[in-house]
Amino acid sequence: MFHEEIKRFDINRKPKKQSPFLMPIIWGASFPANIFNRVKIKKLGMEGLKPPYLLLCNHNAFRDFLVAAEANFPHRANSVVAIDGFIGIEWLLRAVGGICTRKFVSDTTLVKQMKRVVQGGQIAVLYPEARYSLCGTNAVLPESLGKLAKFLGVPVAALVINGHHVAAPFWNRKRRNLSKTEAVMTKIIDKDELKALSVSEINERINASLVYDDFKWQRENGIIIDEPFRAEGLHKVLYKCPACNTEYKMDSKGTELFCKECGKRWEMTTLGELSAKEGETEFSHIPDWYEWERAEVRKEIEEGRYCFEADTDVEWLPNAKGFIKIGRARLVHNADGFLLKGSYGGEDYEVVRTTPSIYSCHIEYNYKKKGDCIDLNTSTDTFYIYPKDCDFSVTKIALATEELYFHYINNK
């Protein structure tokens, strides 16, 4: 193990029930915030459902946790939280029932911790997308969810929230004012069904329950967002120009998205749509542009052309005390997966995530004002990787990770 003398986060410590003394504080923070954000929670088929159960939530912003707390009221819950969320506040997150995990790794300890939670009569809350949505639509879910549901042996509910992405999108979290936010909590599998359904049937039902599109919801509900900065940052997601097919030359300012290569410009309307300033509007719906980029990456993979290689600055997160800068390393991402090679403190290291071992990855845009980065994890370590001295898009790397996995599964 890399630098064994550094103490790792203790993921084996049993999760605590939420402290009864902290629950009034949690609810006291959640209810006013949800009122302020104009959240309306609707429940379907939840009559008579009491803990323990598994709650699966979509993920667009931190405020998802506040909505989940109100949706579960008056019951206590244990939420799965990535290790970076524990930095500096491990004691607090443990006290409110947080269960730590590292993203996109096979984590049998997490499964055991969730089993302890439901055996203790609590609600286990999981955000299976494992990252904020990049463009307000549902992300790929792990195939292991069906097995997890079977293993826990408790009813499964889904909580889908619309509005959080358009209110504070991942690519620019500056708050926009919304006239409303909607959340729907639905029981999707009861205990008896769980026994009868196959793992694949459970996965189908889970996937169907977590489909959402925030920009479509905004348009259909006539939600006006007229802030003058509403398009700023959108080029982080829409990194390839559909007019000239050039990558990494997109930019944005104010209400406009534009290509610095060919000069084409698009206006982001107050209903969250795109309209070309001149000529054809290739994609008026932002997620359609994003899925076109996915198709372009898939084409590169199928033709054997996809490869990303760069020098990077790396920060290491072995525990919740904070990141440790470990200098430069070389990152390669290709059909074989991820390979990160570097040296720190006189010790060489390699981080290897093969294509079949990682179905998606976590990325950040301008993380803590340090730049765009890729987050790679092993069972004991987390590495935040910042490519340097090259044109790149972490969005493309995330899309390629998913498409490489699908390509492997379809052709193995």
Please report, for residues 1, 48, 168, 378, the alpha-carbon distance to residue 7 in angstroms, rounded to integers and kept in the order given. 11, 45, 36, 15
Q: Is the pLDDT assigned to residue 365 strictly greater than 80?
A: yes
Give CA angle at 164 (162, 168), nearest 5°.
Answer: 150
The span from the CA of 386 to the CA of 367, in Å, is 9
Report the DSSP beta bridge partners of residue 162.
182
Please report which confidence band the pLDDT of residue 44 belongs to, taking 50, 70 and 90 as the band edges: very high
The structure tokens 């969250």 sit at 272
Q: What is the dihedral of CA 21, 27, 28, 34, to 10 degrees?
A: 170
Residue 410 Cα distances to 21, 141, 276, 302, 356, angstroms: 51, 17, 37, 11, 11
Judged against a pLDDT cut of 90, whether residue 22 lies above it is answered with: no
Mean pLDDT of 49-65: 96
Please report the pLDDT score of residue 4 as a whole number.
Answer: 81
Whether 153 shows a pLDDT value over 90: the answer reads: yes
Coil, helix or strand at residue 249: coil
Looking at residues 15-24, what average pLDDT do you find? 87
Say if residues 141 and 406 touch (Cβ distance below 8 Å).
no
- Considering only CA atoms, which of 137, 103, 196, 93 is closest in space to residue 384? 103
Please list, residue by residue across 144-174, b when 16 or more beta carbons sit within 10 angstroms of its beta carbon and e when fewer do: bbbebbeebebbbbbbbbbbbbbbbbbbbee
Instruction: Please check whether residue 137 is in contact with residue 131, taking contact to mean a CB–CB distance below 8 angstroms.
Output: no
- pLDDT band with cut points at 50, 70 and 90 for residue 223: very high
Q: Mean of the per-residue pLDDT values for the chain?
A: 96
Whether the CB-CB separation of 373 and 364 falls below 8 Å is answered with yes
Confidence of residue 243 (pLDDT cuts 50, 70, 90): very high
Confidence of residue 304 (pLDDT cuts 50, 70, 90): very high
- The Cα–Cα gap between 175 and 272 comes to 15
**What is the band of 94 on the pLDDT scale with cuts at 50, 70, 90?**
very high
Q: Domains of the chain (ranges plus CATH)?
A: 23-220 (3.40.1130.10), 234-302 (no CATH), 308-411 (2.30.29.30)
Q: Does residue 1 surpass a pLDDT of 80?
A: no
Model confidence at 412, in pLDDT bands (50, 70, 90)?
A: confident
pLDDT digits (tens, 9 = 90+) for 268-297: 999 999 999 999 999 999 999 999 999 999
Please state whether beta strands 324-334 and 308-317 pair in parallel, antiparallel, or not at all (unpaired).
antiparallel
- Between CA 260 and CA 237 the distance in angstroms is 16
CA distance 190 to 197: 10
Q: pLDDT-based confidence at 18, cuts 50/70/90?
A: confident
What's the pLDDT score for residue 21? 84
